[in-house]
Amino acid sequence: MSERTFTIEDLKRILLEGAGAEEGVDLDGDILDTEFEELGYESLALLETGGRIEREYGISLDDDVFTDNRTPRSLVTAINTQLETLVAP
């Protein structure tokens, strides 16, 4: 299995596909440490986003993934940690 990583660009693409972008929010700005809620994504948008990440990356996210990871930076790290376990021996 080839190693996959999950980047902020991947996250932005999936957010846009699954939930669009709030008016007045520029996803291309410095959003790494801005909370999802502040970016205009509420629980439903995050559930849709989580589902899309799970399907695309073949992983299963914990129910609490978005309460434990409230910012893009934290989420990207958490998903990469999980992807690493997939390729571990």
Partner 1 sequence: MTARAVITGIGVATANGLGVDDFWAATRVGKNAIGPVTRFDASSYPARLAGEITGFEAADHLPSRLLPQTDRMTRLALVAADCAFEDADVRPGDIPEFDMGVVTASTSGGFEFGQNELKKLWSQGSQYVSAYQSFAWFYAVNSGQISIRNGMRGPSGVVVSDHAGGLDAIAQARRQIRKGSKLIFSGGFDASICPWGWVAQIAGGRLSTRTDPERAYLPFDADANGYVPGEGGALLILEDEHTARERGARTLYGEIAGYGATFDPKPGSGREPGLRRAIEVALADAGAAAADVDVVFADGAGTPDLDRAEADAITAVFGPGGVPVTAPKTMIGRLYSGAAPVDVVSAVLAIREGIIPPTTNVECAPAYDIDLVVGQPRPASVRTALVLARGHGGFNSAVVVREVD
Partner 2 sequence: MSRRVVITGVGVLAPGGIGAKNFWSLLSEGRTATRGITFFDPSSFRSQVAAEADFDPELHGLTAQEIRRMDRAAQFGVVAAREALADSGLALAGFDPHRTGVTIGSAVGATTGLDEEYRVVSDDGRLDLVDHTYAPPHLYNYFVPSSFSAEVAWAVGAEGPATVVSTGCTSGLDSVGHAVELIREGSADVMIAGATDAPISPITMACFDAIKATTPRNDYPEHASRPFDGTRNGFVLGEGAAVFVLEELESATRRGAHVYAEIAGYASRCNAFHMTGLRPDGREMAEAIRVALAEARMNPESIDYINAHGSGTKQNDRHETAAFKLSLGDHAHRTPVSSIKSMVGHSLGAIGSIEIAASVLAMENHVVPPTANLHTPDPECDLDYVPVTAREHRTDAVLTVGSGFGGFQSAMVLARPERSAA
The residues of the shown chain that bind partner 1, judged by CB under 8 A, are 16-23, 40, 44-45, 47-48, 51, 54-55
Amino acid at 28: D
Contact partner at residue 10 from partner 2, partner 1, none, CB < 5 to 8 Å by partner kind: none
Are residues 57 and 6 in contact, defined by beta-carbon separation less than 8 angstroms?
Answer: yes
Contact partner at residue 26 from partner 2, partner 1, none, CB < 5 to 8 Å by partner kind: none
Strands (DSSP E) found in 7-87: none
Closest residue by Cα to residue 69 from 53, 58, 57: 53
Question: Does residue number 43 form part of the binding site for partner 2 (CB under 8 A)?
Answer: yes
Question: Does residue number 44 form part of the binding site for partner 2 (CB under 8 A)?
Answer: yes
